[in-house]
Amino acid sequence: MKDLFYTYILNLQNRITSALEDIDGKAKFHEDEWQREEGGGGKTRVIENGNVFEKGGVNVSAVHGSLPKSMQSYFKVENCGFYACGLSLVIHPKNPFVPTVHANWRYFEMFDLSGKMIDQWFGGGLDLTPYYLFEDDAKHFHQVCKTGCDKHDPEFYSKYKKQCDDYFWNHHRNEGRGIGGLFFDYLKPTANKSIDQWHDFVTEVGDSFLDAYLPIVKKRKDMPYEKHHRDWQEIRRGRYVEFNLVHDKGTLFGLKTNGRIESILMSLPPHVQWRYDHQPEKNSPEDQLINVLQHPKDWINT
């Protein structure tokens, strides 16, 4: 399974970076291939200062070795090894009317001292972080998510949409990081779902990413904007950074397993503002976004 999924995410990385380069028309992804001393490595691809994308990364990694003590305590295991592979991406567009997007698809195994596998699971999802809310964009993104889920189980979309809203929640701000999408973790083989079926579901979601995001980019990338739009984008990016450094489990896992710091922190945007007690004007477009972030919506049935 790990070989099958690793081959998949390598191919998906190629498809996504090629499509994003085509839309940008100027910047190209720079690839940085790296090795992890404890075992494994990855391919980090970063795009910067383009026509459309100010900064973005589409990373693939496959790492293995002894599970660190801090993670053994988290998973309630002792003296075991692990293997983890995945694709993680974050794209920060230049135009404030184009949303930031994040996605991740990963596979994890744990082994005992004899090398016998004792656990395995998939995780991942995709979510959208707009700076200005366009309801048709939100509905499109969520409809693509629902269509992929419905092919596998009619209950998946509502379940994983709620998990996304719950996970990407800035508790210290009492607001969502964005307008959600899908989030799932610990998709393990059961009597009802084999690991192969979970693989098929996760790759279905991965294959839908470009359909979910690119139409929004094409629609919004050439919209004119002014400095106050850009200022608001940078203020909201600050909230994005806060979530990633305070709450995100993937970031914390990478830091605790001696992950490659440049790859882990590639999710951080290049230009950010933190203004003291900044409040948007009541009933402004900025205020409307905050209201939605504080009260997650059902985008399919509205």
**pLDDT on residue 103:** 98
On whether residue 299 sits in a domain, the answer given is no
**pLDDT on residue 69:** 76
**pLDDT on residue 172:** 95
**pLDDT on residue 75:** 80
On whether residue 231 sits in a domain, the answer given is yes
Residue 44 is part of a domain; what is its CATH number? 3.40.1500.10
**pLDDT on residue 60:** 96
**pLDDT on residue 265:** 87
Question: In angstroms, rounded to a whole number, what is the distance separating the alpha carbons of residues 169 and 294?
Answer: 9
Give me the residues of the chain with pLDDT under 50, please.
none
On whether residue 117 sits in a domain, the answer given is yes
What is the phi-psi region of residue 174: left when phi exceeds 0, alpha when psi lies from -120 to 50, beta otherwise?
A: left
On whether residue 62 sits in a domain, the answer given is yes
Q: Which residues are catalytically annotated?
A: 102
On whether residue 169 sits in a domain, the answer given is yes
Where in the sequence is the domain holding 184, given as residue range(s)?
2-294
Tokens 């979601």 label which residue? 205
On whether residue 300 sits in a domain, the answer given is no
On whether residue 261 sits in a domain, the answer given is yes
Number of structural domains (the chain) is: 1
Q: Residue 243: which of 194, 293, 207, 188 has the closest Cα?
A: 293
On whether residue 123 sits in a domain, the answer given is yes
**pLDDT on residue 2:** 94
